[in-house]
Structure 1
Amino acid sequence: MNERENLLARAKELNITHPANIGDDKLKAKIAEAKADAVENGEADPVDLVVVKGPERGRWRIGRKFTREATEIPLEDLDEDQLEALQNDPELIVSFS
């Protein structure tokens, strides 16, 4: 699944309505706002996405290729070993949102 598909799936999960031609940056902002509201209202955990960036040439880890473009992975899609492998790889930048 590419980043656009991930964004659209995340927006659907959060019941975010948007025009079909919405830009990725605006959709990311709407998702962030909906997540913040859900956390504030006690409806969601504050951390539910793992964001991974790799080197320019790319880096394969846990069966996925990570490049300089951020890849968002729902936390529930990763098991403990996969998360540990990402965090312990010195060529990957791992953050949470």
Structure 2
Amino acid sequence: MGEKTPERIALEEKALKLGLSFPGNIGDEKLAERVAEAEARAKETPPPPAASPAATGAAPAGVKDGTPADPATPPGLAVIEVHGPARGRWRAGRHFGPEAVVLDLAALSEAELALIRADPLLVVVDRVRPAS
């Protein structure tokens, strides 16, 4: 699979913000259709109030795998941002749901990274940790 275009990345981010789950191998046109449908539905009905992380069992912002993100991680270190389906999904010993899980590439083995990237229910976005 080739590199994702900036347009594809933006489309996936929009889909995730709308709460859509989709396989990683969905075509751009089909994903754009789903986003358009979700946007139309969102205009018709107001979104439900957001549940607290404690109520959903999700980790609070800045926490990954039950451990707070390491503030000592040097800026510019490559990370991946992983989104899973609404019901969640376990892969490589980690749980992924609709909220972003940010993982340092240095903390993953090649096998773990391959498992995460190959899972069609996970959306993986390559990122660079911004400077604080």
- TM-score using structure 1 length: 0.57
Residue 81 to residue 13, structure 1, CA distance change in 2 (3 Å): closer
- Taking only the aligned residue pairs, the percentage that are identical comes to 34
Distance 1:9 1:80 in 2: 21
Distance 1:89 1:5 in 2: 22
Q: Which consecutive aligned stretches of 4+ in structure 1 deviate over 2 angstroms post-superposition? A: 2-6, 8-14
Equivalent residue pairs, number: 66
Which residue does 1:63 correspond to in 2? 93
SS in 2 for 1:94: strand
Following TM superposition, by how much is the alpha carbon of 1:51 offset from its aligned partner in structure 2, in angstroms?
0.9
Following TM superposition, by how much is the alpha carbon of 1:5 offset from its aligned partner in structure 2, in angstroms?
4.1
Bigger-Rg structure (1/2): 2
Which residue identity is paired with 2:111?
Answer: D
Tell me, which stretches of 5 or more residues in structure 2 are unaligned?
1-58, 128-132
Following TM superposition, by how much is the alpha carbon of 1:50 offset from its aligned partner in structure 2, in angstroms?
1.2
Which residue identity is paired with 1:90?
Answer: P
Of 104, 114, 117 in structure 2, the residue corresponding to residue 84 of structure 1 is: 114
Following TM superposition, by how much is the alpha carbon of 1:4 offset from its aligned partner in structure 2, in angstroms?
2.3
Question: 1:17-37: per-residue Cα shift (whole Å, max 9, x none)?
Answer: xxxxxxxxxxxxxxxxxx3xx
Give the structure with the larger helix fraction: 1
Q: Over aligned residues, Cα RMSD in angstroms?
A: 2.3
Residue 91 to residue 76, structure 1, CA distance change in 2 (3 Å): same
- TM-score using structure 2 length: 0.43
